[in-house]
Amino acid sequence: IAVEEQFYLAIPFVARSGVNLVKFFITVMVACWVVLGTLSFMGNALGVILITLRYDCIAIGGLFACAYYYQHPVLKWIYHPVAGFGSVAAVMFMAVFVQPRPDLLYTVISDFIFGVLILNVATNPRFPLKFTHPVLEYLGNLSYSIYMYHPLLLLVFFKLFYGKMGPELYQILAYPIVI
C-alpha cells in the first residue's frame, strides 16, 4: 500500500495510544531527515527507496492537520491573506519556473507551501478560492474512485499483456492506467 494509506492505517492507533500527535509527526520528520541525510552520503539503494517514500512529507501534512484540529494559534498566520495568496503565487511560480527535484530542501519548502494553500482552500471561510462547485465535487469523487481501483486495473493489465507485446507498446498502453 502507498505511503498515505500506511499513515491512514497507523494514525488512529497512534492517536488512541495517547501519543501526542504533534510530537509524533515532528519525530517522524526529523528521523526521516536524519536517515535521508545519512544515506545520501552513502549512495545506497536504501536511500533511493526512502527518498521516494517521503514519510516526512506526510508528517508535514499531519502537522498542518493538527494545527487545524487543535485550532493552534499558528492558524492566524496561515489564514492571513498574505500567506494564502502567497501560497497561490508560490505554487504558480513553481509550476512555471521551478524544475521539481527530489532533494530535501525542495520537497520541504513545497510541502509547507502546499500545506498553507490546502488549509486556506479547505478550512478558511474568508479565503476566496474554493473548490465546492458541484461539478468539481463530482470529479473529485470520481477521481478518488479511480485512485482506489487503479492498482487492480494495473494488475489485470499486467497479467493480460505483459510479455505479450513489445515493451514500447506496453509502456504506451500502461502509462494512462498508471496515471
**pLDDT tens-digit profile of 13-67?**
998 998 999 999 999 999 988 888 777 666 667 766 766 778 888 999 999 999 9
pLDDT number for residue 116: 96
- For residue range 124-133, what is the model confidence (pLDDT) as tens digits? 999 998 877 7
Calculate mean pLDDT across residues 153-170. 80
Instruction: Give the global pTM.
Output: 0.74
- In angstroms, the CA 14 to CA 21 distance is 8
